[in-house]
Amino acid sequence: MAKELINAIVAMDGEEATRLTQELLDQGVEGNTILADCQAAMEEVGNLFEKGEYFLPELIMGGEILKGITEVIKPKLGAASENGDKAGKVVFGTVVGDIHDIGKNIVIFMLETNNFEVVDLGVDVPIAKFVEAVREEKPDIVGISGFLTKTFDSMKETIAAIDEAGLRDSVKIMIGGGTVTEDVAVYAAADAYGESAMDAVKLAKSWMGGK
């Protein structure tokens, strides 16, 4: 049964996925068990995305299907289940002065699919908020996103502020965004630049592996 649900989600069939969810609930299956199936399905969606078979629309539609399922099972959900150890913790945001979030959201989706815990600071994140989040959340990695060319300086200033707060050595910093290139990472004193969401996952994994 659960296999069918996973297949329906991966095939982007929202109506079938919701129907199967209701069927499972009627059979007395626990909400958390269904959520675990959803998680497995989204991992498969993430895999297909990595392979270049799925694209952004499938990530968005997958999220939409999941939202529908969650609404169906929410009333019957027990305590939230934490699925074991995380691969690492990432604080992520779009720099101050920039409200673009497409790239940021894809990277966060892919990091979460790969078992990273992500604290999403949102868009137009003030420098002080990044510094505070690094201090409070104690992440392993900071991800800074930006689309406007003006944000290269904001990235540089954000990273400098993390440095001045004495927190630079405690984190690895990755940057990315529509106009960001390798040379910007050097300019902004980030540890690395990633061109795609997969790059971000690779970087994060390599940094955690090296710890």
**Residues that bind other proteins in the complex, under the rule CB under 8 A:** 12, 14, 54-58, 60-61, 64, 97-100, 102, 148-150, 152-153, 178-181, 183-184, 186-187, 196
Q: Closest approach of Cβ 196 to other proteins, in Å?
A: 8
Q: Output 49 or 92, the one with its CB closest to other proteins.
A: 49
Least Å from the CB of residue 28 to other proteins: 30
Q: Nearest approach, Cβ of 82 to other proteins (angstroms)?
A: 28
Nearer CB in complex with other proteins: 47/55: 55
Task: Quote the CA–CA distance of 169 and 24 in Å, as a whole number.
Answer: 49
Q: How far is the CB of 135 from other proteins (least distance, A)?
A: 26
Residue 53: CB atoms within 10 A of its CB come to 10
Instruction: Specify the amino acid at residue 138.
Output: K
In the bound state with other proteins, the residue whose beta carbon lies nearer, of 66 and 134, is 66
Nearer to other proteins, 47 or 179 (CB): 179
User: Is 55 or 206 the residue whose CB approaches other proteins more closely?
Assistant: 55
Measured N-to-C along each axis, helices 14-26 and 56-73 cross at an angle, to the nearest 10 degrees, of 30
Residue 76: CB minimum distance to other proteins, A: 26
Picking from 168, 172, 163, the residue whose alpha carbon sits closest to that of residue 206 is 172
Q: Which is nearer to other proteins, 59 or 203 (CB)?
A: 59
Q: How far is the CB of 74 from other proteins (least distance, A)?
A: 20
